Amino acid sequence: MDYSAITTQFNKRYGREFSLYASPGRVNLIGEHTDYNGGFVFPGAIDKLIVAAIKPNDTEIVRVYSYDMKETAEFALDEKPTASWALYIYGVISEISKRGLKVGGFDCVFGGDIPIGSGLSTSAALESTFAFALNDLFNLGLARIDMALIGQAAEHNAVGVRCGIMDQFASVFGETDHLIRLDCRSLEYELVPFHPKNCRLVLLDTQVKHNLAASEYNIRRAECEEGVATIQKKHPQVKLLRDVSLDLLNDFKKELKESTYRRCRYVIEENQRLLDACEALKHDNYTEFGKKMYGSHEGLSKEYNVSCKELDFLVSIAIKNGALGARMMGGGFGGCTINLLEESHYAAFVEEAIAAYKIEFNKAPKIYEVKIGKGSHKIA
């Protein structure tokens, strides 16, 4: 992104000396609703960023200007701000303090080009930017995993959103042209090369709000926990769905409600799809990888029942136009599809997706093209 507007605004408000830091949003190629079941996810950082110009000010006061919101917040290090966007910054400071580390006051201007509300995790990028910047400016000695956990805890405790670790992990650990196979149980990870030749990653935003996402998320989580609890009675070593094989689940099919069985089966199959997708990438088999993306969407739509007609419609357009792979991304009931397309199919796909979606739903989807980029870093 062009961050000259950020630096110009800093010069105007706080002077000419500053350091510049950035953290990206993320996409998740496969592995949805697996995180809270102790399974795997497969995200990548993207080339859309939150950028912060920042300088210590030798006080106990934080002065920060949000370029995108056109708002200023000023608060003491131990004082909860009133602006909702400033809670993310306060949360990072608070979680650092809980670890017995000390930061000072600072001046900052931040902004970015991650589309808000697109499901690309603007909040995690914001948390990661400040965790990384404050670690560097105040010589805190934090490891990257600490920064990711601080961002997650900030969202839990200051903002009140009980998110998983995937978004912050991808934002901090991302590498250009690599996806991250993250084990959500152990936090062990592997960087897997992702460099499809003559291809594009494109997001189509349904512009449908996730009205059902929160309540249905809780229901799905409870159904998975119900399945685990039933199996646990005879197999106490089972703690999470990650510990359950398909054969073991099938042994309990008659004891489980049909919907509970199908939710559990989806999660177990999705974990295996993800592992198979990783192997496909290691052999540069993007056709097979794309098939796993389609399989993921089919499972999310038909087994986990978290899709919607708009998402299913856009995936059907992807199939019709020869996309290598496509699926819904995120919690469901709206948001974006993620599509892996050969360059030669891109123009026709986008054109038809816009035209057909307008006819079907009386509005156009938003189009976001992304590339797999670098995690948290210092620019200057």
CA 306 to chain centre: 17
Nearest by Cα to 154 from 136, 132, 137: 132
Which residues, in sequence order, are bridge partners of residue 110? 52, 66
Question: Is the Cα torsion angle 9, 10, 13, 17 positive or negative in sign?
Answer: negative
Distance CA 249, CA 218 (A): 21
Ordered DSSP codes for 211-278 = TTHHHHHHHHHHHHHHHHHHHHTT-TT--SGGG--HHHHHHTGGGS-HHHHHHHHHHHHHHHHHHHHH
Catalytic residue chosen out of the listed positions 167, 243, 284, 312:
167
Compute CA distances 174 → 46, 122, 135, 189, 345, whole Å.
Answer: 8, 15, 18, 11, 28
68 catalytically annotated: no
Nearest by Cα to 349 from 201, 195, 196: 201
**What amino acid positions are annotated as catalytic residues?**
167
